[in-house]
Every structure is written in structure tokens, then in C-alpha cells.
Structure 1
Amino acid sequence: MKNAILGTDLSAASDKIIDNAIEFKLLGVRKIVLVHILNLRSTDDFSEYDLGSAQEKIDSQKKRLLGMGFEADTKIVMGVPAMELMRQAKIQEAGVVIIGYRGSSWSKSTLGATASEVLHNIKCPVLLMAFSHEPDPKETEELFKEEVHHFEKFVRQFRQKEPKVELLHKIVNQHVLLTTDFSDFSENSFEWLKTHMTSVPKLTILHIQDAVRIKHLENRLEEFNQIDTARLERLRKEFRQVHPETVISNVLLYGNTKQLIPQYIKDNHVTLAVMGSQGRGYISEFFLGSVSLGVARLASSNVLIIPFNKKLKP
């Protein structure tokens, strides 16, 4: 992989992604195309849009990427954000689309609001960079008290004032979690991770015996555990052949998949969760699996969703 699309809303959240962009070299990224989208669905974006200011800001972000050793380009376009990001990914032959989520919800940004839509239209890997996004309540309260008698001025200042924002995990590869149900989609994600990640200090390969799916077969749980333990060991050995330096752990759990994965991520300080866009029993390649979508919404980590690619299938 060489090219990446990075969706930028030119906010403080986007700046934080740019500041941490050196991490994307771990995915084999050499060129980053910054894409800023003027949302056709939002009339507010048009009424207050300043093209000159936007160009100046995106050029500044590009300059910082160049300083990190990336090739870089910029695009300011009009369109529907989710569709436009995927269209630009196709034009640029990008290997991954990078966007922030949770980090822009206080602004007029469209990226936070459309992260789910991007995933539902996934055509290439999508890396979601997780943010903390709690506003500073004291700062907001003080500003309100100061301007309570000048409401219009307060509104203008408040709109311009963004809360403090930080990436949850600046070191993306510190602890990578690969979830698998041993489907073709999961095997595809495993191959992608093994092939594209240049450095993985710590990897956990997680399989969950879905309590809902096998409830009527609980009497065979021990048998399934033995089979899946062997499958996990196969994956561990294959990954070790390519990444001998990686510390690899296999984890086998039983329970509700949608609940256990986010909880495991939180409890074990996972920095990047890697999973297929679908699992067993998928309906269509154009619909994101319910487990993948649930993890993307709830995970306290960066999330990398990999769509199926027949070329990667072993």
C-alpha cells in the first residue's frame, strides 16, 4: 500500500490526526491526499464557507505532512462526504481511507456524522482514529457568565471555540487486536494485517464463541473450543513467520460478541482493533456486519475495518 485518503474537516481534531500521521507509515503509507468536503446536504456549510481560509488551512496541514517525509496533495470538493471519500479513494487508488470519529461532533464537521455511512459503503480499508471529545465545562461556564448580557457576541465566540481534543491512542500499533470468526472475511483481515503492517509489537488474536449462535449446542462447547484453539494456533504460527518479533497471544472467550469485544478492548488497553467488514452469514458485501459496526461505535481504540479482497484470500 502506498496512497491514503485522509478526510479533514480542518478542525482541531483533524490537526491532531495530522500531528500523529507518522504512525501511518506503519501501514505502508507513503502518500497522503487530504480531502476536505463541502457537504451538499448542509446549507449552513455554504452560507458561512470561506474558500480562501479553507485553502490556507489545508495547505498548512499538507506542509506538516511533507515535513514528516510523506508525499502529499490536497483536494477541496463538494459532495456527499461518505460517497466523495470513497470516490476519491478510487481515483487516487488509495489503500486506506483515514477519518476521525467522535472528535468532531461539536463542530459543523460532517466527518463525525458520516463515519457510519462511510463504513456502510466501504470499498477499501477504513481506519477510524478515536478521540476523546469532552468539552471543558469550566471554560464553557466562564464564557457564558462573561457574555450573558451580550448573547449574540457569546454565540459567535462559542461557535468558534472548540473543546480540547486528543487522540485516545497516539501509538497506533502498541497493542493490536485481531478479531476472528474464521470466516473468509476474517481470514482476509488476517492476511491484510500480516502483509501490510510493518511493525506489530503486541498482537492478540481473539475468537468469541457466540452464546447466541451456539446456544442450542452448548453441550458441544468443549469440542468447539478444542477446534478453535487449534485454529487460533495456526494463525499465531503464520503471523510469527512474517513477524518473528511480535508478542502474540491467543484468546478464546464465550459470550455476547458485540459486548465482549469493546469490553476486551477497554480492559486490555488495545490501541488498534482490526476486523473484517463482515462475518459469517453476511447478506451483501455492501452492508457492514452488525458486529463490526457495533465495535466501531463502542470501541475505545482506533478501529481498522477491512473489506473482502479475493486477491488476499490464501
Structure 2
Amino acid sequence: MFKKILIGTDFSLASDCLIRCVGEFKGLGLERVILAHIIYVANAPGLEDRMKSEDVPEIQRQKQLLEAQGFEVTTEIHLGIPARELKALAERYEVDAIVMGSRGHGFWRSLLGSVSFKMLQISDRPVFLAPVRVVGEGESCQLSVCFNSFQNILVPVDFSTNSDRIIDYLETMLEKYKASLTLLHVIDNKYVETSLSGQEAEHYRKQVDNQLKELKQRLEKAGGQVETELAEGTPWEKIVNRTRSDRFSLVVMGRHGRGFFQEALLGSVANEVSRQTELPVLFLPLFK
């Protein structure tokens, strides 16, 4: 499932935290890591070659951290626009996912910055965003992804074709890694209030509940422990509120669909969830 991944690094303590925790992906079949650092040339015109040479020892240091965890590692240092370069490397190496931290100092300082958000827009591969919480130095730093991320997963669904294929993806994951899953659908209260009569709204709720039960049965057959939740309100707010529960360790959600995911890349759901949650989020692309 995750046999080969691409990690973007800015050599910050936050990225060191991320790299120290990559070993968790072994349970999902990880063998090879492409470790990439992109120098944004607009930040240092005329100094590209000097910066590139200075970055070699740093990327070699992080390479050793990954090799110590038993991975085959390839390093890449490139000049250019970070998101574009990372996308090109992901395609060149045919990686199964792109892994990025959501804290740091360089080009990915925050999820509202250009790289993380841009990767959600342009990548045709899964993007794993891991919020890094640095609480000390060296070995004492902490990262959400380290805490059994694939054990208790929150899965927002909107019943689109892409949402159905995300269930296919989870079925494949369950073949390698047993997990507890909670399927969450949020009924947009604005849609109910403006578009449905009382009787229609009740029928719609029953229909949604039945759809959740069908998805639950599929994932249980694949070996997962599955629960379902139905909520009403503003979708991104409800999702973010559920991620604040100590119960979950990871969110898996799509970036396209219909309903409350339709406008995700314009900032409504996916952006708000990635910006506000403290959990790692695995964003799955539009499946074709």
C-alpha cells in the first residue's frame, strides 16, 4: 500500500520529528523513501549553488536517520518552485504517497502556506499531512503520526463516487493493517433548511443512515472494526470537532466529491480540516 513514499524536508527540527516517525509506515509495507529538499530560488537569487552544496550534509544526516529505521533511501535536492518539484518527483518515482509535516520553518511553515495547500490542489497521489508538535530538542520532539496513527481512523464520507472508491482504498489497507474505523457523514443543515420539507428531510436522514450501514458492512467484511456516526451542522466544523476527541489518531478523507467535499479545494472542508485539526490527515485524490 505504501511501499514507496516521498518526504519533503526543510531540515527543521519539525522535519526531523517527521523522519524519526516514518517507521510506523512499515506496517503498511513501506520499503523505500525518496527524501527531497527543494530550494525556492526566488528566496536567494544568485546563491543557488552555494545553498545546494550547504544542504548536502543536512540531507545526508536525515538520510541516515531513515536508513537506521531499515529503509532504502534516495535523496534529491532541486531548485525551483517547491510544490511543482515535489509533484514531478512523485510522478518520476511513482510513489504511493507524499508525506509532509505541517509545521516547520522553511517553505511549509503552515498549512496555509503555498506548499502544503498547493500539494492538495495539484497532486494526483495521496498526501499525508502530519502536524508536528515540537516539545523539546532532538529525541524529545513529538509528532502526531508517531502515536499509532493507523489504529483509530475517522473517515468523513459524502457518498460520492470518489467516496465509494475511498472505501475500496480502505478495504485494501485493512488487508495489511487492522484498524478501527468510524464513518462520519455530516448532513449540511443549510441544505436541509433551504431545500427539503420536514417529511423530505426525515426521508433523507433515513436514506443516509442506510448508506452508512452499507459502507459499514463492506469494511467489516474486510476485517475492520467499524462504527458509524451521523451529524448535522456545518460539515467542516463537525469534522474538526470530532478530530479533537482523544479517540481518533488519523483522518482519511477525499479532496473531491459532491456534497460537502465539492468545494474542498476552494477552502471549505479539506482546507479547514487540514488547517485546524491536530491529527494527521491522509488526503486521497480524485480517483479516475
**Band of TM-score, shorter chain:** 0.7 to 0.9
Give 1:185's aligned amino acid.
N
- In the alignment, which residue of structure 2 is the partner of 1:189? 166
Matches within 5 A, 1:250-289: 250-280=228-258, 287=265
Give 2:220's aligned amino acid.
R
- In the alignment, which residue of structure 2 is the partner of 1:222? 202
Contact 2:48 2:79 in 1 (8 A): no
- In the alignment, which residue of structure 1 is the partner of 2:276? 298
1:269 and 1:87 map into 2 onto residues whose CA distance is 36
Matches within 5 A, 1:123-162: 123-132=124-133
Give 1:292's aligned amino acid.
A
Matches within 5 A, 1:11-50: 11-43=12-44, 46=47, 50=51
From the superposition, tell whether residues 283 and 262 of structure 1 become closer, same or farther in structure 2 (CA, over 3 Å).
closer
Contact 1:35 1:76 in 2 (8 A): yes
Give 1:305's aligned amino acid.
F
2:145 and 2:222 map into 1 onto residues whose CA distance is 25
Per-residue deviation, 1:165: 4.9
Q: TM-score, normalised by structure 1?
A: 0.80
2:261 and 2:46 map into 1 onto residues whose CA distance is 36
Give 2:167's aligned amino acid.
F
Give the 3-state SS of the residue equivalent to 1:297 in structure 2.
helix
2:188 and 2:245 map into 1 onto residues whose CA distance is 20
2:208 and 2:151 map into 1 onto residues whose CA distance is 26
2:154 and 2:93 map into 1 onto residues whose CA distance is 29
- In the alignment, which residue of structure 2 is the partner of 1:176? 153
Per-residue deviation, 1:286: 11
Contact 1:4 1:96 in 2 (8 A): yes
**1:180-228 CA distances to partner (integer Å, 9 max, x unpaired)?**
0101121122222221353243211100111122222151332222211
Give the 3-state SS of the residue equivalent to 1:205 in structure 2.
strand
- In the alignment, which residue of structure 1 is the partner of 2:107? 110
Contact 1:210 1:255 in 2 (8 A): yes
Contact 1:121 1:287 in 2 (8 A): no
Contact 1:278 1:292 in 2 (8 A): no
Give the 3-state SS of the residue equivalent to 2:42 in structure 1.
coil
Query: What residue ranges of structure 1 are gaps of 5+ in the alignment?
Result: 137-160
Per-residue deviation, 1:287: 4.4
Give the 3-state SS of the residue equivalent to 1:116 in structure 2.
helix
* Identity fraction in percent: 28
From the superposition, tell whether residues 167 and 49 of structure 1 become closer, same or farther in structure 2 (CA, over 3 Å).
farther
2:28 and 2:77 map into 1 onto residues whose CA distance is 25
Contact 2:264 2:270 in 1 (8 A): no
User: Which has the larger Rg?
Assistant: 1
From the superposition, tell whether residues 11 and 212 of structure 1 become closer, same or farther in structure 2 (CA, over 3 Å).
same
2:95 and 2:215 map into 1 onto residues whose CA distance is 27
Contact 1:277 1:288 in 2 (8 A): no
Give 2:14's aligned amino acid.
A
Query: What residue ranges of structure 2 are gaps of 5+ in the alignment?
Result: none
- In the alignment, which residue of structure 2 is the partner of 1:212? 190
Matched pairs, number: 278
